[in-house]
Amino acid sequence: MQLTLEFGGGLELLCDSEKIHKVNVDLPNGADDLTMKHLLSWVRTNLIKERPEMFMKGDTVRPGVLVLVNDCDWELSGQLDTTIEDKDVIVFISTLHGG
């Protein structure tokens, strides 16, 4: 499915300094839905070029990284269990840089 992934707050530096990535992600084998859990591991494998520990900790984003699915805080949609659909826009913003 076609997705738009956006990286901000410094996270873009981990993926070739490119903020917006239009990507095609396939459903995992045997699964009916694409969840954020799967998408995160896909991002880590396919987009993150350096310092993956700045983006992830364990199987989720590093604390301090905000995630929005279609401009909505993923804490409202079940975080890792959030189901992703075709044409969704997922934004990752790091809050860890100075202000």
Partner 1 sequence: MEAGEAKSKKAGGPRLCCICNQRRPVLKRPKTLQQICRECFYEVFEEEIHQVIVVNRLFKSGERVAIGASGGKDSTVLAYVLSELNRRHSYGLDLFLLSIDEGITGYRDDSLETVKRNELQYGLPLQILSYKDLYGWTMDEIVKMIGLKNNCTFCGVFRRQALDRGAALLKVDKLVTGHNADDIAETVLLNILRGDIARLSRCTSITTGEDGPIPRCKPFKYTYEKEIVMYAYFKKLDYFSTECIYSPNAYRGFAREFIKDLERLRPRAILDIIKSGEDFRIATTTKMPEQGTCERCGYISSQKWCKACVLLEGLNRGLPKMGIGRARGGINGDHTRETKAGSKSIETKQCGSLDF
Contact 33, 52 (CB under 8 A): no
Least Å from the CB of residue 23 to partner 1: 16
Nearest to partner 1 of 16, 73 (CB atom)? 73
CA distances from 62 to 42, 65, 92, 94 (A): 16, 6, 11, 9
Nearest to partner 1 of 45, 51 (CB atom)? 51
* Alpha-carbon span 61 to 80, nearest angstrom: 9
Which residues form the interface with partner 1 (CB under 8 A)?
A: 8-10, 13, 62-64, 66, 68-73, 75-78, 82-83, 85, 87-89, 91, 93-99
